[in-house]
């Protein structure tokens, strides 16, 4: 009960990449970089285990960014000529690669990381991939001329990689779809369908993470303008409830999401965000257990997985580590409080 997990990313050590950045530059190249990525992954596997987490990830130590890490292995994308584009409905600008030809995988994307993760922990492992809709919102289209068509093309590629990750021994494959909270109507119309295409044929657990983004200033400003009640999930959850996706990761602690929206997820597993990623203040075990208690009004205890609100990538390493511990300790306290 209350198996703990993180949304996905963790801070990269200073010897691997620039710290406190969403698109950090690597500190090494070639074979040295490959080794440094492995070392950082091993470090975070150990830290997650020692903190007491139940489901372990690679902390996305091998990707510069959660979307572009996947795209680097896709043919038909021009990475040499990135262009500036407003993403997430123009919330902030990013330098994005361009889709210039039909999309095809060059080969495996995350084989090394997944197999390395599987080899170094006996616990359940989760692997994250960007969702099709979020990818479409993070590239410039110079070829397809149609968002849905391009999303379905990406979904096919994601599906190829997801099936291979499952064969690598991954227990849970999670697609990250922050774009679902920005384009709610489109998410319900075709975003969920594209997601199901990406998860087609998987027999491992499938999950989707929908959040209000990393704790960067552009997101903080955006959230300040969303009003007293954040009801974005209300439009997407009914479509997800009817979908084949089994788990949904959502923001809860310190957000303005009305917790009763979790009811809309019907019989899905719910990864409840009990750790705020937009604040360096470390949660206490009591606060984490209290958040779990609130969610229990709407989610049965056998389907509740305490989680972080989003990735921890741009945070200080020390703070992130303390938050992992708070997550595990809070879940342990909740087991005592609500267990019987
Ligand atoms: Zn997120």
Give pLDDT, residue 122. Answer: 98
Q: How far is the CA of 255 from the centre of ligand 1 (A)?
A: 13
Centroid of ligand 1 to alpha carbon of 209 (angstroms): 6
16: CA distance to ligand 1 center in Å? 22
Contacting residues for 62 by C-beta, under 8 A, at least 6 apart: 37, 41, 69, 110, 112, 113
Please count the other Cβ atoms lying within 10 Å of the Cβ belonging to residue 83: 13
Q: What is the CA radius of gyration of the chain?
A: 19
The sign of the torsion formed by the CA atoms of 118, 120, 121, 122 equals: positive
Percent of the chain with pLDDT over 70: 100
Determine what percent of the chain falls in helix, strand and coil, rounding each to the nearest 5: 40, 20, 40
pLDDT at 215 over 90: no
Q: What is the mean pLDDT of residues 175-188?
A: 95
What are the pLDDT digits (tens) for 93-114? 889 999 999 999 999 999 999 9
Residue 153 has a pLDDT of: 98
Q: 30 alpha carbon to ligand 1 midpoint, in Å?
A: 29
Q: In sequence order, which ranges of the chain are alpha helices (DSSP H)? A: 30-51, 68-71, 111-120, 132-136, 147-167, 184-186, 192-198, 217-224, 233-241, 285-295, 317-338
Tokens linked to 8: 């996905």
Ligand 1 centroid – CA 107 distance (Å): 27
**What was the pLDDT predicted at 41?**
98
Predicted local distance difference test score (pLDDT) of residue 133:
97
Q: What is the pLDDT of residue 214?
A: 81
Banded pLDDT at 303 (limits 50, 70, 90): very high
> Distance from the CA of 167 to the center of ligand 1, in angstroms?
26
| Per-residue pLDDT tens digits for 276-293 | 999 999 999 999 999 999
* Ligand 1 centroid, distance to 277 Cα (angstroms): 9
Distance from the CA of 8 to the center of ligand 1, in angstroms? Answer: 8
> What whole-number distance in Å separates Cα of residue 247 and Cα of residue 123?
18
Mean pLDDT of 168-189: 96
Give me ligand 1 centre to Cα 139, in Å. Answer: 18
Give me the mean pLDDT over the 52-69 stretch.
93
How far apart are the CA of 31 and the centre of ligand 1, in A? 30
- Element (DSSP H or E) covering residue 94: strand 92-105
């Amino acid at each position: 009960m209350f198996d703990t997990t993180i949304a996905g990313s963790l801070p990269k050590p200073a010897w691997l990449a620039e710290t406190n950045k969403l698109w950090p530059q690597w500190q090494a190249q070639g074979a040295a970089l490959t080794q440094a990525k492995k070392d950082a992954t091993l470090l975070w596997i150990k830290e997650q285990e020692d903190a007491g987490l139940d489901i372990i990830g690679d902390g996305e130590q091998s990707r510069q960014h959660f979307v572009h890490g996947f795209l680097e292995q896709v043919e038909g994308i021009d990475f040499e000529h990135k262009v500036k584009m407003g993403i997430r409905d123009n919330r902030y600008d990013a330098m994005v690669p361009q889709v210039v030809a039909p999309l095809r995988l060059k080969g495996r994307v995350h084989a090394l990381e997944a197999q390395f993760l599987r080899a170094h922990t006996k616990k359940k492992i989760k692997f994250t991939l960007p969702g099709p809709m979020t990818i479409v919102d993070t590239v410039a289209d110079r070829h397809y001329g149609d968002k849905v068509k391009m999303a379905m093309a990406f979904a096919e590629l994601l599906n190829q990689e997801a099936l291979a990750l499952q064969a690598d021994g991954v227990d849970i494959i999670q697609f990250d779809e922050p774009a679902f909270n920005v384009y709610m109507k489109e998410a319900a119309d075709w975003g969920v369908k594209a997601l199901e295409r990406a998860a087609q044929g998987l027999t491992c657990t499938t999950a989707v993470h929908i959040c209000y983004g990393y704790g960067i200033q552009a997101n903080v400003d955006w959230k300040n303008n969303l009003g007293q009640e954040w009801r974005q999930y209300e439009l997407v959850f009914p479509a997800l409830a009817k979908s084949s996706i089994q788990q949904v990761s959502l923001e809860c602690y310190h957000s303005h999401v009305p917790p009763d929206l979790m009811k809309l997820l019907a019989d899905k597993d719910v990864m409840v965000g009990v750790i705020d990623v937009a604040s360096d203040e470390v949660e206490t075990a009591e606060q984490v257990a209290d958040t779990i208690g609130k969610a229990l009004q709407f989610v049965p205890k056998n389907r509740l997985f305490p989680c972080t609100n989003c990735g921890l990538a741009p945070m200080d390493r020390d703070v992130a580590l303390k938050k992992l511990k708070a997550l595990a300790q809070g879940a342990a306290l909740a087991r005592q409080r609500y267990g019987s």
